[in-house]
Amino acid sequence: MGGDSPSAGPLKRTPLFDVESELGGKMVDFGGWELPVQYTSILEEHKAVRERAGLFDVSHMGEITVAGPQALDFLQKLTCNDVSKLQDGRCQYNGLLYPTAGFVDDILIYQNAPSDYLIVVNASNADKDFEWFRECAKDFDVELRNVSDQYAQLALQGPASERILQTLTELDLSAIKYYRFRRGKVDGIDAIVSRTGYTGEDGFEVYVAPQHAGDLFRKILEAGKPFDAIPAGLGARDTLRLEARMALYGNDIDQTTTPLEADLGWIVKLDKGDFFGADVLRREKGEGVRRKLVGFEMIDRGIGRHGYPVVDGTQKIGIVTSGTHSPTLKKAIGLAYVTVEKAEVGSELLIMIRGKETKARVVPTPFYKRAK
Amino acid sequence: MTTPEENRYAKSHEYIHLDGDIGTIGITEYAQKELGDVVFLELPKVGSELDLGDELGSIESVKAVSELFCPVSGEVIEVNEALADKPELVNTDPYGDGWMIKIRCKNVDEVDVLMSAEEYEEYVEKEAGH
């Protein structure tokens, strides 16, 4: 039972492990990290984030700093979005690409200054990314540091997030707009606070030193009590991000998929100058991609889950990369790579679910968008 | 964990409650907790003949799908229709309103090889501890 793939070696723990266990977190192996998949129920935690607020531990995410006179040039070369468009105190979603235009990772870049960046990377990719950075840094005057161990990360997500977090900080949170960040004290602790997240809801991500994470986690929950905020696990994080159509590395994107195939054209800036994968992406843009990541909802009963084939007669024409029951829409949704002929909204897809062809339909995404 | 004494338990976490030759089958408290929120079930039709170990159906939770196995042989005489609208009964009351099917057993002795409540609890403890 369960979709958790056990990994080799001892599991790593975040500084919040004890607090989470105490709060009743059901701990599972998540890419080598022992993290709570849920506390009470995925549906309940999902609903809390959509309607009130939920608090996640995302301390397993990696952090890398890139500094030096050529920091901007370096990042421009390694990524497909235009880092020069960033300003101090702003964040950017970006793709770290190989020369093949496949993803090394998808990342968030925080600009402290044009010569000083903090890169937030996926947990399972942190070491690989750092190695890639190091390899590429030989031709650049930059200084790289893997500072993953120096940060714990808490994500408070949901419409009540600002009101909750504001009780703990003198930073004016209303002034921190979407995808911006500030440094300041939260409950007396030095923190980076950004208005970002992975749920499709308003919310904040707070970075602090690991030794303070436990206290802060409890403090935020306490401050959230009047709003019925609850701790939330990775199960809800996955259903929330999928409803918002946010890609999950290892599922929806990886080294074999390009940003254009993943329908992430908005982070591909071909006019910004040369970067790894630019040639491939330029060609793809000209000729069109052969396959595309689309959103689907099930017509027949069933849930098309990660790895299930999409078929047309005896031919395999695609593969499901993510799939779940959407708690907000109360139907089965998912993402799949399919041949472009089948990628149009309204196209019917056949997904093989345990040996049975099961009907689904291509639908527009995101599946869920919050009211502003 | 509450494990009713009067049931017998399979290693694949189904329970059967025998009343004469009629067995009521569902999944255990431990199994529903492992699965998390159940969103729907696929169950056999009334009249289906099942052998011991046959796939009885599947249970889909938010995070995963699992197969259900039949712990005895017999004919399905009733399916819990309430689960179509309220699959969450499997989570809230697995041994009561969350039952799945009733089966007329071909051979009631088959339940003897299944575990007692006490044996099942020990088994689960080992599995959870790995």
Which ipTM score applies to this complex?
0.83
What is the token pair recorded at B33? 């907790």
Q: Is A101 in contact with A255 (CB distance < 8 Å)?
A: no
A98-122 pLDDT per residue, tens: 999 999 999 999 999 999 999 999 9
Tokens 């995070």 label which residue? B63
Helix ranges restricted to H, A311-364: none
What is d(CA A286, CA A304) in angstroms, rounded to the nearest whole number? 32
What is d(CA A338, CA A361) in angstroms, rounded to the nearest whole number? 12
Whether B63 has its CB under 8 Å from any CB of chain A: the answer is yes
The pLDDT of residue A7 is: 54
Q: Do B34 and A1 touch (CB under 8 A)?
A: yes
Closest A-chain CA to B13:
A1
Per-residue pLDDT band at A372 (split at 50, 70, 90): confident
Q: Do B62 and A37 touch (CB under 8 A)?
A: no
Mean per-residue pLDDT for A50-64? 98
Q: How far apart are the first and last CA of chain A?
A: 39
Chain A nearest CA to B76, separation (Å): 22
A213-223 pLDDT per residue, tens: 999 999 999 99
Residue A19's φ and ψ, nearest 5 degrees, are: -60, -45
Residues in chain B with CB shorter than 8 Å from the CB of A3 are 63-64
Helix (H, G, I), strand (E, B) or coil at B111: helix
Name, in order, each residue with C-beta under 8 angstroms of A82's C-beta and a sequence gap of 6 or more.
A76, A269, A272
What is d(CA B45, CA A34) in angstroms, rounded to the nearest whole number? 41
A175-196 pLDDT per residue, tens: 999 999 999 999 999 999 999 9
A60-100 pLDDT per residue, tens: 999 999 999 999 999 999 999 999 999 999 999 999 999 99
Helix A71-78, helix A126-136: angle, nearest 10: 110
What is d(CA B9, CA B35) in angstroms, rounded to the nearest whole number? 17
Q: What is the pLDDT along chain B (130 residues), one digit of tens a residue?
A: 689 999 999 999 999 999 999 999 999 999 999 999 999 999 999 999 999 999 999 999 998 999 999 999 999 999 999 999 999 999 999 999 999 999 999 999 999 999 999 999 999 998 876 5
Whether A14 has its CB under 8 Å from any CB of chain B: the answer is no
Which of B114, B37, B115, B47 has the alpha carbon at shortest distance from A47? B37
What is d(CA A358, CA A336) in angstroms, rounded to the nearest whole number? 14
